[in-house]
Amino acid sequence: MKNSIPLFSLNRRQILGAAFASAVLSSSGTVWAADEAPEAFIKRITNETLDIIKADKTLRNGDVNKLTQLVDDKLMLHVNFRRMTSLATGPSWRKATPEQQKRLQDEFKILLVRTYAGALGQVSDQVVVVKPLRSGQEDKNLVVNTEVRGKGDPIQLDYRLEKTPGEGAGWMIFDLNVLGVWLIENYRTQFTKEINAGGIDALIASLVARNKSNARNS
């Protein structure tokens, strides 16, 4: 049976956060062609982010406020966060009221943003190698495989993407696989335990408490 990643396991959290944030952050608001290849998309935003961090001493030194602002400003540009939250919540998402969905999404965002901000300070000499795309995949559920290489063994890092239609079309990330564990699957296991114990409100309360604890400890 596959082990789930604890919500606040420091080593795995740092790996997950640094890798994910490095891939989803962008260095500018440039509009790119809607037909940009998914591998090119991942490679571009990863390299842009690594360049930002390596060029900014305060980011490299772990300025929490600056890192948090960086993540908060740029993260949502490339993540379908509503879909990520709904998938992590599972069937209970459809039963939640609009207010509960909003609160859950807001608290989940705070949790991940703070996690990624703390992890970005770990970035140093890493490089990301994007592997050739597997054929036969659909744009609504497409996986790009990469490896993060630096000191130590390479880290497997896979992104699940969807192609957004219409004006401003492009690729959006909605799941991530680190070392064989998918983020949504991991959080769904933990969220389900909270919901089974006390419902959606109990899950929201748990996330609020964890976010307050993280804020005190940062």
Report domain extents, the chain.
10-26+33-217
Q: What is the pLDDT of residues 68-127, one digit of tens each?
A: 776 676 666 788 889 999 999 999 999 999 999 999 999 998 887 777 666 666 666 778
3-state secondary structure 14-75: HHHHHHHHHHHCCCCCCCCCCCCCHHHHHHHHHHHHHHHHHHCHHHHCCCHHHHHHHHHHHH
Q: Indicate the length of the chain as a whole number.
A: 218
- Please report, as a single letter, which amino acid is at residue 16: L
According to the model, what pLDDT value does residue 120 have?
A: 61
- With beta carbons less than 8 A apart as the criterion, state whether 147 and 129 touch: yes
According to the model, what pLDDT value does residue 56 have?
A: 82
Q: What is the pLDDT of residues 129-140, one digit of tens each?
A: 899 999 889 888
According to the model, what pLDDT value does residue 31 have?
A: 45
Judging by DSSP bridges, how do beta strands 181-182 and 142-149 pair with one another? unpaired
Cα distances from 214 to residues 20, 78, 90, 209, in angstroms, run 19, 25, 25, 9
Grouping H, G, I as helix, E, B as strand and the rest as coil, residue 44 is helix
Phi and psi of 209, rounded to 5°?
-65, -40
According to the model, what pLDDT value does residue 204 have?
A: 96
Question: 């070392």: which residue's tokens?
Answer: 179
Q: What is the pLDDT of residues 43-69, one digit of tens each?
A: 888 777 777 777 888 877 777 777 777
Q: What is the pLDDT of residues 18-49, one digit of tens each?
A: 555 555 544 444 444 557 899 999 888 877 77
Q: Which CATH superfamily is domain 10-26+33-217 in?
A: Tgt2/MlaC (3.10.450.710)
- With beta carbons less than 8 A apart as the criterion, state whether 141 and 79 touch: no
According to the model, what pLDDT value does residue 74 have?
A: 64
